[in-house]
């Protein structure tokens, strides 16, 4: 597998620390509102990466956290906690809000066939680990206290900003230029960030913990460092997230993790580009924030959405339109119909050019996986798959595709679906399932006949004809059945 690594800005050969074992961490959702389809792009791109590594024979330990405290509006040093604000808005407790949107997130990824992470740690359940990490950083002199909280002094970390390709000075200028929100007073550098924030009001009871620095709650960045290292060790093979997290969140995760452990935090940084809608950033004010439920309510299947997202390369910006989704839904339907027809091929005789055709199936499969291993080039892998479908379709139209050829194509398609996750098997099984049902009914009728229960035998014969269009023939060598032409 060749993968682009954000920190080196190069495509590199992927090699995990342990031979066949990969550790993979992704920043999870902040559970204050329903995840939007941009968030889903991140988890779908990561899913393709995970499935590709599984296909290459790696075992994976996969962690996606749930941010249920500490993520402030505007990502800056001041501002309100997103979950707390939502609780006030919805007249619920922060816990209720977090639980509700955690379930919404899990439901979305399940419907999108995203393989379930091994661990989904909640930030609020790991405050102890965060405080331990803060203690280590404090002991080593990286922290200072101002009236609003305990801050990490970014000037003390050599290579601060390396992930973004900006040095300390440039990153400070960049953040200053982009600052729309008021910053905490007393900060030494504009890039400094809170690892612990002090409780704001005496009335604020929820989401407040005791600590030796004072009552309060953790900063957002420290959560990911603490949870990723708890479950995956001090050096991770892969850390994932959207490109929005490169200059601040992931930069700060590196600074605090490496300052605490003195080890490299992450070997490969995997970042997906943005999903835009109608050419614009998704924003509530623009009214273009879609959720998966919105897409489903418009009559599209989650699989059509999965298909449109994964068919773009993860490092390119993807502009989502309903029109494009309509086209993709049609393409997906035609693939499913192809899979159904594949299972109907019943000619045992190989047609001319059999060897040539079988070789073309092998070549398509090789090309597909070469493209996947080339920094997850799904668009080119899909071209190889579509070329195979076209080729097999042509053969089917001429009634040339034999059973063994159809099986080779079906096997290749199933293999592709190990990466694509588009439920191909279900559409093949629908046909296989029918065959199984017919077989069982034929056997049941035979048993009825033997018992001389002719009424039952006749009823089954009619059922087979009506439901499946299957005609039975009693021959000397037993029962045969075929479909009505
Ligand atoms: P958040 O809940 O904001 O922390 O986001 C969860 C994940 O979605 C992160 O990896 C973000 O980088 C990613 N993300 C947020 N918005 C978009 C978008 N429009 N396109 C792609 N990824 C996004
Ligand atoms: Zn994170």
Write down all domains in the chain, each with its CATH number in brackets.
Answer: 2-272 (3.40.50.620), 324-483 (1.20.120)
The pLDDT score that the predictor gives to residue 243 is 96
The pLDDT score that the predictor gives to residue 77 is 53
Q: Is 73 in the pocket of ligand 1 (CB under 6 A)?
A: no
Which run of H or of E encompasses 3?
strand 2-5
State how far the alpha carbon of 15 is from the alpha carbons of 18, 22, 53, 163, 237, in Å: 8, 9, 11, 20, 8
9 CA distance to ligand 1 centroid (A)? 21
Q: Is 244 in the pocket of ligand 1 (CB under 6 A)?
A: yes
Contact 126, 227 (CB under 8 A): yes
Contact 236, 254 (CB under 8 A): no
The pLDDT score that the predictor gives to residue 6 is 98
The pLDDT score that the predictor gives to residue 92 is 84
Give the number of other CB atoms < 10 A from CB of residue 147: 8
Q: Which atom of ligand 1 is nearest to the CA of 27?
A: 10
Phi, psi of 154 (to 5 degrees): -70, -20
Nearest to 123 by CA among 36, 29, 43: 29
The pLDDT score that the predictor gives to residue 362 is 98
Report the predicted TM-score, pTM, of the whole model to 2 decimal places: 0.87
* pLDDT tens sequence for the chain (485 residues): 999 999 999 999 999 999 999 999 999 999 988 899 999 999 999 999 999 999 999 999 999 999 987 676 654 556 677 777 878 888 888 888 899 999 999 999 999 999 999 999 999 999 999 999 999 999 999 999 999 899 999 999 999 999 999 888 888 887 777 655 456 788 999 999 999 999 877 666 778 999 999 999 999 899 999 999 999 999 999 999 999 999 999 999 999 999 999 999 999 999 999 999 988 888 767 778 999 999 999 999 999 999 999 999 999 999 999 999 999 999 999 999 999 988 877 766 777 789 999 999 999 999 999 999 999 999 999 999 999 999 999 998 887 888 889 999 999 999 999 999 999 998 886 666 677 778 878 888 888 888 888 888 898 898 888 888 888 887 776 778 887 76
Q: Is 216 in the pocket of ligand 1 (CB under 6 A)?
A: no
Contact 418, 302 (CB under 8 A): no
Q: Is 342 in the pocket of ligand 1 (CB under 6 A)?
A: no
Locate 452 and state its tokens: 């001389």
Q: Report d(CA 431, CA 379) in Å as an integer.
A: 29
Q: Is 272 in the pocket of ligand 1 (CB under 6 A)?
A: yes
Which run of H or of E encompasses 274?
none
Q: What is the largest CA-CA distance in the chain?
A: 96
Locate 367 and state its tokens: 């090309």
Q: 81 forms bridges with which residues in the sheet?
A: 72
User: Atom 1 of ligand 1 has which residue's CA nearest to it?
Assistant: 29
466 CA distance to ligand 1 centroid (A)? 51
Q: Is 274 in the pocket of ligand 1 (CB under 6 A)?
A: yes
Q: Report d(CA 303, CA 336) in Å as an integer.
A: 11
Locate 273 and state its tokens: 């580009």
Residue 246 DSSP class? I
**Which of helix, strand or coil describes residue 63?**
strand
Q: Report d(CA 269, CA 394) in Å as an integer.
A: 43
Q: Is 249 in the pocket of ligand 1 (CB under 6 A)?
A: no
User: Atom 6 of ligand 1 has which residue's CA nearest to it?
Assistant: 29
Nearest to 456 by CA among 465, 466, 469, 446: 446
Contact 214, 198 (CB under 8 A): yes
**Which of helix, strand or coil describes residue 187?**
coil
């Amino acid at each position: 597998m060749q993968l682009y690594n954000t920190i080196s800005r190069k495509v590199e050969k992927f090699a995990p620390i342990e031979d066949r074992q990969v550790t993979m961490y992704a920043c999870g959702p902040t559970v204050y509102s329903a995840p939007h389809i941009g968030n889903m792009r991140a988890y779908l791109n990561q899913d393709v990466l995970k499935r590709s590594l599984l296909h290459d024979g790696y075992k994976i330990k996969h962690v996606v956290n749930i941010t249920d405290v500490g993520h402030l509006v505007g990502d800056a040093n001041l501002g309100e906690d997103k979950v707390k604000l939502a609780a006030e808005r919805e007249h619920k407790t922060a816990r209720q809000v977090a639980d509700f949107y955690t379930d919404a997130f899990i439901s979305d990824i399940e419907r999108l066939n995203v393989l379930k992470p091994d661990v989904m740690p909640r930030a609020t359940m790991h405050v102890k680990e965060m405080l331990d990490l803060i203690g280590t950083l404090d002991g080593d002199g990286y922290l200072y206290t101002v009236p609003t909280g305990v801050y990490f002094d970014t000037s003390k970390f050599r290579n601060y900003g390396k992930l973004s390709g900006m040095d300390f000075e440039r990153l400070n200028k960049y953040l200053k230029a982009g600052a729309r929100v008021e910053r905490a007073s007393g900060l030494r550098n504009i890039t400094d960030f809170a690892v612990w924030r002090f409780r704001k009001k005496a009335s604020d009871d929820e989401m407040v913990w005791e600590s030796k620095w004072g009552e309060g709650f953790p900063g957002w960045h420290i959560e990911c460092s603490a949870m990723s290292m708890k479950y995956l060790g001090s050096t991770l093979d892969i850390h994932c997230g959207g490109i929005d997290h490169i200059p601040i969140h992931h930069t700060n995760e590196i600074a605090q993790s490496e300052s605490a452990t003195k080890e490299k935090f992450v070997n490969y940084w995997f970042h997906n580009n943005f999903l835009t809608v109608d050419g614009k950033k998704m924003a509530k004010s623009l009214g273009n924030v879609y959720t998966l439920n919105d897409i489903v309510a418009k009559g599209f299947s989650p699989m059509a959405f999965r298909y449109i997202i994964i068919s773009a390369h993860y490092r390119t910006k993807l502009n989502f339109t309903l029109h494009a989704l309509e086209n993709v839904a049609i393409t997906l339907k035609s693939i499913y119909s192809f899979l159904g027809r594949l299972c109907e091929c019943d000619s045992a005789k190989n047609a001319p050019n059999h060897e040539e055709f079988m070789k073309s199936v092998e070549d398509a499969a090789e090309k597909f996986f070469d493209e996947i291993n080339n920094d997850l080039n799904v668009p080119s892998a899909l071209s190889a798959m579509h070329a195979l479908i076209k080729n097999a379709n042509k053969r089917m139209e001429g009634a040339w595709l034999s059973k063994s050829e159809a099986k080779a194509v079906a096997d290749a398609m199933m293999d592709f679906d190990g990466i694509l996750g588009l439920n191909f098997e279900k559409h093949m099984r629908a046909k296989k399932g029918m065959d199984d049902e017919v077989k069982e009914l034929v056997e049941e009728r035979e048993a009825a006949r033997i018992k001389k229960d002719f009424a039952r035998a006749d009823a089954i014969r009619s059922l087979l004809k009506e439901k499946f269009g299957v005609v039975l023939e009693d021959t000397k060598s037993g029962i045969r059945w075929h479909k009505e032409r």
